[in-house]
Structure 1
Amino acid sequence: MAKKITMQDIADRLQISKNSVSQALSGKPGVSEETRRIVETAARELGYEYTSVRNQLQKSEQNKTFALIASEFAFSLKSFFGEIYLSIERELSKQGIHLLIQPISEHAISERQLPSFVQNKSVDGILILSHLSTDYINEILSTNIPTILIDHHHPHINADAILTNNRFGAYTAVEHLLKLGHRKIGFVGNTSYSPSYYERLEGYRLALHHHEIKIDPTFILSDVLEEDEDLRISMSKLPKQPTAWFCVNDGFGFLVCSYLYHAGIKIPDQISVCNFDNGQLSQISNPKITTMDIDLKLYGIKAVEQLIWRINNKDAVYQEILLPTTLIKRASTGPVLTRD
């Protein structure tokens, strides 16, 4: 009769304590993810019978239905939000969770018309991609369906949120310009459009403050529309140009580069340009634009993880999870070659 494999057998093989084996197989804290994988592998090889926490979680989530809600405008931005949506879809597919997708019109937002599956509470969880109105989001939250915000938050909204670390990302971008010798750095963006954009302005200010650079308020264009004509008017009114622009997103970065090109200003010889998001526009611009990259796939992974966690921990305090950004240096930034 074959000997029954025990936790002690696994511990002896790996030369670790039985307690560590128990923690690894039960999913309890106290061991690293690498140790957990090694223990699970050894358990399978020795024929130890157990049900992993990961399998238990996936089994418990089967037959659930989640909804992904966003404005019609957000769904149209396929190069950015489309990547997040695809990541969410992949993660839910792995776990056997059904996904409903619902674009929300401006009329529905203004009238607070909720989708029928929200009104009927026929979904187990909701993912809200980007910002709708605060009143509309709170109308959804009033149903008590577990809900996660993606790339949006607000002081009047009590919900978990998956966010970009906008302040530190902008700080890194501006610090990159400072290291190149720039001291006259401008900011372009519409901070009233999104809390994320305001946070990027805060990161811009923080970097200049930390490096003891006096901010010139004439270089801060924080209420410009993301439109060619509005940007052209705002920039043409400036008494002088900075040596570098930090732009709140790819769209503004592309428009700034276009304006400078038509004004006969060389990039980066005369003015450097840096932006945020690493979308398609920063990659097709001539020159290609230095940018802060966001891991959009990670957005989807973390949003799904947090929603599953929230369903199982409904009374826990709300959390905001900040995802890091990465500086990608391209041809649009260079050292200061011309000075006033």
Structure 2
Amino acid sequence: MQQKVSMSSLAKMFNVSKVTISKALNDKEGVSEELRSQIKKAAEEMGYRINNAARGLRTNKMYNIGLLIAERYMGKTNSYYFGVCGKMVARLAELNYSSIMETLTDKMENELVLPMMYTDRKIDGLIIIGQLKNEYLRLFHDFDIPVIFFDFYVNEGNIPSIVIDNFYSGYAVTNLLVANGHKEIGFVGNIMTTSSIQDRFLGFYRSLLEHRLTVNYDYLISDRNDDGHLIDLVLPEKLPTAYVCNNDEVAFRLVQALNEQGIRVPEDVSIVTFDNTIYSTLSTPALTTVDNNVDEEINVACKVIMKKISNPSKVYDRILIKSFIIERDSIKKLN
């Protein structure tokens, strides 16, 4: 019969106190990263599991993190945030926290209904994934549990935000098009809906200004209504030589819309996009895209929410995650 693994046995193994073992397993300060890694590895190999229920009785915590996401981000075709949620649940589990995920309907958002996992007092902290309406987000100002925003930010309040550097990413992919000889470049995305789309557009705009190129507003295509729901793409009568799309799914739909009119990618129109999701490789041709470094974004978000739970007075602002471009086959080099 396998011997039960306890903090005491781990402490004897490493010749340290049970307090040190507890700090290492719970990612608390006061333990070197090398020792923390060794303790966690040994605990996992020996089958040690933290009893969150017992731990909760001692600390008056639930050891649950809430994940709140709008229903519109979890549609049949929207894979990005679905994948984010799965990875975030796994990362929190590695950090010995359970997750409770709740979807927010349009009705709940419009009527300012707080998530049930909060009103039922089931969570110690909350991660809001994807931008919601400002009126709803104001509910979380001066909240009584820690809250962070994932993949968006707002100017109101003092809630930490974990985002990729969308401005620089938009700037960099537009520079790539210009470097390939493109001077007439359009943008696909409703810039009134999310901070991510706005910053990607502003980076696109900055690149055009820097290269003394004109922003032709006839080339702008909206991809969603003001409530954030995707709409059909309406192509302009005259097309640019290239488009910057605000995400892979929209770029995939743009390729389809162009093909239906006999317009080829990249022979007639080049496309760059963001997120490096399955849509960027399902497309023909495969799309040049920005990889958001989402694993690092998730890792930082999980660590920040846990530190806020341990020390609610700790202040964080907007944390930017560096992204990178993956070049594929959707850009034509012009003379």
**Band of TM-score, shorter chain:** 0.7 to 0.9
Q: Among residues 311, 331, 334, which one is paired with 1:333 in the alignment?
A: 331
Q: Using a 3 Å threshold, how does the CA distance of structure 1 residues 27 and 214 change in structure 2: closer, same or farther?
A: farther
**What secondary structure sits across from 1:231 in the alignment?**
coil
CA separation in 2, counterparts of 1:98 and 1:217?
47
Q: Identity percentage over the alignment?
A: 24
Q: Using a 3 Å threshold, how does the CA distance of structure 1 residues 310 and 227 change in structure 2: closer, same or farther?
A: closer
CA separation in 1, counterparts of 2:166 and 2:81?
17
The higher radius of gyration belongs to 1
Higher mean alpha-carbon deviation, 220-229 vs 208-217, is at 220-229
Residue 71 of structure 2: aligned partner: 72
Q: Using a 3 Å threshold, how does the CA distance of structure 1 residues 89 and 267 change in structure 2: closer, same or farther?
A: same
Normalised to the residue count of structure 1, the TM-score between the two structures is: 0.75
Higher mean alpha-carbon deviation, 132-141 vs 88-97, is at 132-141
Residue 199 of structure 2: aligned partner: 199
Residue 16 of structure 1: aligned partner: none
Shift of 1:115: 2.8
Shift of 1:268: 1.5
Shift of 1:180: 0.7
CA separation in 1, counterparts of 2:116 and 2:269?
52
- Alignment-mate amino acid for residue 67 of structure 1: G
Q: Structure 2 matches for 1:157-236, cutoff 5 A? A: 157-221=157-221, 230-232=232-234, 235=235
- Alignment-mate amino acid for residue 135 of structure 1: E
Q: Using a 3 Å threshold, how does the CA distance of structure 1 residues 229 and 198 change in structure 2: closer, same or farther?
A: closer
CA separation in 1, counterparts of 2:231 and 2:106?
25
- Count residues in correspondence: 289
Map Cα deviations across residues 102-154 of structure 1 (whole Å, 9 max, x no partner): 11222211112223332254421111111222222222344321011111211
Normalised to the residue count of structure 2, the TM-score between the two structures is: 0.76
Q: Structure 2 matches for 1:42-81, cutoff 5 A? A: 64-76=63-75, 79-81=79-81
Residue 282 of structure 1: aligned partner: 280
CA separation in 2, counterparts of 1:228 and 1:299?
25
Q: Using a 3 Å threshold, how does the CA distance of structure 1 residues 227 and 194 change in structure 2: closer, same or farther?
A: closer
Q: Using a 3 Å threshold, how does the CA distance of structure 1 residues 212 and 117 change in structure 2: closer, same or farther?
A: same
Asked if the contact 2:62–2:124 (Cα under 8 Å) also holds between the matched residues in 1, the reply is no
Residue 7 of structure 2: aligned partner: none
Gaps of 5+ in 2: 1-14, 16-28, 40-49
Gaps of 5+ in 1: 6-24, 29-35, 45-54
CA separation in 2, counterparts of 1:178 and 1:115?
45
Residue 269 of structure 2: aligned partner: 271
Shift of 1:249: 1.3
CA separation in 1, counterparts of 2:174 and 2:328?
14
Shift of 1:189: 1.1
Higher mean alpha-carbon deviation, 71-80 vs 218-227, is at 218-227
